[in-house]
Amino acid sequence: MSVELDVFVGNTTIMDKEVYQLWLNGYTVNDAVKVRIEGGVMEECEASAEVLLSDTMDQYRTFQMCERLLHHPAKLANQLLFQIPPDRQAMLIERYALACQFNSLDLVIIQFQTFICISLFRYYAFDDSFVREVLGKKLSKGTKKDLDDVSIKTGITLKSCRRQFDNFKRVFKVVEELKGPLVENIRQHFLLPDQLARDYAAIVFFANHRFETGKKKLQYLTFQDFAFCAGQLINNWTVGAVDNMMEDMDVDLDKEFLQDLKDLKILITDKDLLDQHKNLVCTALRGKTNVFNEMEANFKNLSRGLVNIAAKLINAKDVRDFFIDLVEKFIEPCRSDKLTSIDVNLYLTHYTNSAHILDTFKHHAVWTRYMGVIKSCILRMYHD
């Protein structure tokens, strides 16, 4: 005797959160059943493995049906296929609204008529270890083919890797063409909570500029470090950052600004200016740190590093090396001198401010815009 067909459909959809997570993690039905058995559902409910298998398969089918909708979250608002009882729905909405930190609850209620809001959130959630592997890579078929290596390396199932990758790609494709602020676009089109939308913005931004993140020297950085930096770049260096003209895109860096950055070179090419700058910084720093000597000795080196990075950013190729450059030209020298992050903060603060006192230095706006981001990125990336 064999079960040919076995389905269970409710007027209101019952979803098991645990099984959903297993599905998202790419478990096969049989593996999921094993995990559930180990989890003790069987003892709890005195169910047999058969019952568990049947239930798991039902759940998986439901998720697969949901998946189509999840790919186009905007449709969720008025989809008719799934129904959730109003009391539970209201509860979910409240909880979800909290998670999303949406200001207007009304908006949320209209958008999240279904329980899928929670599933949506989970569906678009990703593993930091996975995203770390593909961050900055082109979201192409080639990369997708290499996912089995990523899967082996990270221990995440290939299925789950693929889903996460496809999510990145889907979001990328949609927002690529859109005008306006990146995070807001993602939030609206995929109905994701704020933090997740920011993370996706970072992923899209990295993929767009193909930032190098895989080098050995960068391995110590986490996805959240990069996401933070991406946020800084998006907020300060893109076109949308300066003027809020909606026709401009958030994904690309402000070309004009990059052009202007070349002017900063004067800080290192003009000998007098460099010396003046060094003196100002050293005066300010003297007595405030234990590593003053090292800072003084390294000043020209570090300054050259930072200004050179700025000057190179006009070339798309060099943009890719932004992070590796920061590490090689600034972070590593500092670290070999045993600077603490407090020292680095102090140094960068004075380094930035002193430039404004220089008589012959005129590019104050560009300098502030540049150093603001550099400072916060370096501080984030500077792990003691």
Partner 1 sequence: MPGRLKAKIVAGRHLPVMDRASDLTDAFVEVKFGNTTFKTDVYPKSLNPQWNSEWFKFEVDDEDLQDEPLQITVLDHDTYSANDAIGKVYIDIDPLLCSEAATVISGWLPIYDTIHGIRGEINVLVKVDLFNDLNRFRQSSCGVKFFCTTSIPRCYRAIMVHGFVEELVVNEDPEYQWIDRIRTPRASNEARQRLIFLMSGELQRKIGLKVLEMGGNAVVGYLQCFDLEGESGLVVRAIGTACTLEKMSTFPATATHPNNSSPSKDMKEPGFGEEAPGVPLSSGPPTPLRAQTFSSFSPSKSYSRQSSSSDTELSLTPKTGKISSCPVGHLCHFCMIPPSPFCVFQEYPFFTLTIFPPGFLLHVGGVVSARSVKLLDRIHNPDEPETRDAWWEEIRQEIKSHAKALGCHAVVGYSESTSICEEVCILSASGTAAILSSRFMQDGPLDTEHRFEEVVSPGCGFCHIPYDELNIPFPAQLTYCYCCRRYKVPDVLFTTIDLPTEANVTGKGCLIQARLCRTKKKAQGEGNAMAISNLLPFLEYELHTQLMNKLKLRGMNALFGLRIQISVGETMLLGLASATGVYLTALPSPGGIQIAGKTPSDITYEQHISNMQKKINDTITKNKEQYEINPPEVVEEIIGSPIPEPRQRSRLFRSHSESSDEVSEIDLSHGKKDAFVLEIDDTDAVEDIHALLTDSPTPAGNTSMFTSVRVFRLNANLTNQGLNKIFSDLCENLLKSLYFKLRSMVPCCLCHLNFTVAIPEDELIQVAVTAVAMSFDKEQTLENGKRSGEKTLIKGKPCLVSSTPFFLFSLLFLSTPLSFPLALLLSTASSMEKASPLPEGRSRSLRSNRSYSGSSVAVVKMTPLSFIPGAKIIKYLGIINMFFIRETSSLREEGGVSGFLHTFIAEVFAMVRAHVAALGGNAVVSYSMKECVFMENPNKNQAQCLINVSGDAVIFVRESELELTSVQPQSATTQTSNGGEGT
Q: Binding residues for partner 1, per CB under 8 A? A: 1-12, 14, 44-48, 50-52, 54-55, 57-58, 61-62, 64-65, 75, 77-91, 93-94, 105-106, 109-110, 113-114
Would you say 65 or 158 has its CB closer to partner 1? Answer: 65
| In the complex, least distance from residue 191 CB atom to partner 1, rounded to whole angstroms | 15
Q: Is 377 exposed, middle or buried (0-12, 13-18, 19+ CB in 10 A)?
A: buried
CB 265 within 8 A of CB 314: no
For 254, the 3-state DSSP assignment is coil
Shortest Å, Cβ 269 to partner 1? 53
DSSP code for 253 = B
Q: CB-wise, 43 or 359, nearer to partner 1?
A: 43
Q: What is the smallest separation between the CB atom of 88 and partner 1, expressed in angstroms?
A: 8
Looking at beta carbons only, is 84 or 227 nearer to partner 1? 84
Length of the chain: 384
> Taking the complex as a whole, how short is the minimal distance between the CB of residue 182 and partner 1, in angstroms?
23
The SS3 assignment for 127 reads coil
Q: Is 313 helix (H, G, I), strand (E, B) or coil?
A: coil
Question: Which amino acid, residue 68?
Answer: R
For residue 210 the two structure tokens come to: 């193909």
Sign of CA dihedral 323, 326, 327, 331: negative
Minimum Å gap between C-beta 10 and partner 1 is 4
Cα distance between residue 270 and residue 258, in whole Å: 20
170 vs 300, beta carbon nearer partner 1: 170
Provide, rounded to whole angstroms, the least separation between the CB of residue 32 and partner 1.
15
CB of 1 to partner 1, least distance (A): 5
Shortest distance (Å) from residue 252 CB to partner 1: 25
17 or 338: CB nearest partner 1: 17
- Residue closer to partner 1, measured from CB, 23 or 257: 23
Angle of helix 292-312 relative to helix 364-381, nearest 10 degrees, comes to 120
Phi, psi (rounded to 5 degrees) for 180: 95, 180
DSSP structural state of residue 353? H
Which of 343, 133, 375, 350 lies closest to 232, judged by CA? 375
**Which residue type occupies 141?**
K
We find the least distance from the C-beta atom of residue 125 to partner 1, in angstroms, to be: 23
CA distance 175 to 186: 7
Phi first, then psi, for residue 253 (nearest 5°) are -75, 155
Nearer to partner 1, 68 or 286 (CB): 68
- Which residue number, 43 or 384, has a Cβ lying nearer to partner 1? 43
Rg (CA), the chain: 26
Q: Could you tell me if 281 and 351 are in contact, meaning their C-beta atoms sit under 8 angstroms apart?
A: yes
Sequence letter at residue 172: F
